[in-house]
Amino acid sequence: MILLLRGEGYALFSETKGFSHVTINVANLNRSLQFYSGMLGMKLVHQGRRDAYLEWGMAWICLQERAELAIQQRQLGVDHVALSIAEDGFHAMVEVLRTGNTAIVRGPVERGGGWTVNFLDPDGTQLEYYTGTLAQRMKVWK
């Protein structure tokens, strides 16, 4: 949705269609491509000199090589990126993460109406696989 500032508040201008993409800064594009396309199975659509675009369901991810940026510990902004996964493939994917020596920071655990596991990409960006839906989560969230 596009919001227009009017005095103290906002006025709705048009309606958002849905999520489009997320861009993730990475230190080494090739290493990150091995993780995102190899380990996570995202489809590589384009690879440039310092960027790559991967299909991710109905959305996409852009990996942008920015080795000059410092890795910062917990900061304001995006906390993690959650990826939807079918429950029947969830535990097999957790094993793929473990076999690939991926740092798992939480889970796997049943939480919020679905199974979840949080893990880190090669640059420490926190990702999550989640089997539930927003409706399922709202039924149990307090």
pTM of the model: 0.79
pLDDT of residue 64: 92
Determine the pLDDT at residue 95: 93
CATH fold of 19-71 reads: 2,3-Dihydroxybiphenyl 1,2-Dioxygenase; domain 1 (3.10.180)
| Residue 127, beta-bridge partner list | 81, 119
CATH of domain 79-142: 3.10.180.10
Domain boundaries defined on the chain: 19-71, 79-142
- Do 79-142 and 19-71 have the same topology in CATH? yes
Q: pLDDT tens digits for the chain (142 residues)?
A: 444 455 555 555 555 566 778 989 999 999 999 999 999 999 999 999 999 999 988 888 999 998 887 766 666 577 799 999 999 999 999 999 999 999 999 999 998 889 999 999 999 999 999 998 888 887 887 6
